[in-house]
Structure 1
Amino acid sequence: MNYTLTQIPDRTAKPRESGLTMVMDKGLSLREVEDFLSVSADHTDIVKLGWATSFVTPRLNEKLAIYREAGIPVYFGGTLFEAFVVRNQFDDYRRLLDKYGMDHAEVSDGSIDMVQDDKCEYIRQLATQVIVLSEVGSKDEAKIIPPYKWIQLMKAELEA
């Protein structure tokens, strides 16, 4: 840090087990990724390529390499997972994770309807291949989930 502020805990060193910082890459260019990392790499623990931007990202392998060279894991966001699942292409999605050397994957149902048992089964299957991150909730603001239900969903997905 550039100066001292009292009552602020010290930041733990990487690799961290808690207090992780996830950053969403919403379609940054290679140069923007380099600039971002020049000021934030020490504070960034993992990067999510959001909203299936990887589908249209030019030079995707180069972008992934930049993050990896900085020691930052990167993963495809849940919207891409959903795009494959809704088209009955789950096996293709698993091959895609291997093709791009992904160590993490996100499972979500934010923009599609999915039975909770099915979501948990996807988590179980992917967990044999990668570290799974699960997103709970919907992008549809009309779909209100009461707090007790959030807890049930999160517990089920953690168990999966």
Structure 2
Amino acid sequence: MSEPPDDLELRVVTDKTELCRIMLASWGSHSMMIDLHVYDVAEIDALGLFESSGATAALASWTARGDTAYLCALHSLRPGEGVAIRMLDAVIEAARATGAKKLKAMLTNDNMPGMTFYQRRGFRLSGLYLEAIDAYRSVVPTIIKTGYRDIPIHDALELEIAL
């Protein structure tokens, strides 16, 4: 993986249409459950990295509650180029600016690339929620049933990093 690109512009995202479209395509919903709260990425803060042409390179949706920030979605549209690292760094900086002391992310049990990515960035496992996705799917039935390498999705793993 290369160094994070510096030719991208970081902006606050107010029109979340593209983010919701990506979430629906990859997850089946634009809502995420973290720390027993449901967050709709259409309704919380979002940041994006954009090419000079205006094309989207990465999007992230996050929010803060008390001294904890929650990363609800992070999508790189340029995999392997370090864009996700730069996007995560921007979320961490924004979370620190709110006074958050930690940042949490939730992954499904199939997301091996995500587990590697976050742990390499300093995140630690902080929770395992058995059958959480099965339960959440009863509320949002469109959530995908299989993910990375056709692994059945049932459980949620929580990771966090001190800020």
TM-score range, shorter chain: 0.3 to 0.5
Q: Which structure shows the higher strand fraction?
A: 2
TM-score w.r.t. length of structure 2: 0.33
Question: For the pair shown, which has the larger CA radius of gyration, 1 or 2?
Answer: 1
Q: Which structure shows the higher helix fraction?
A: 1
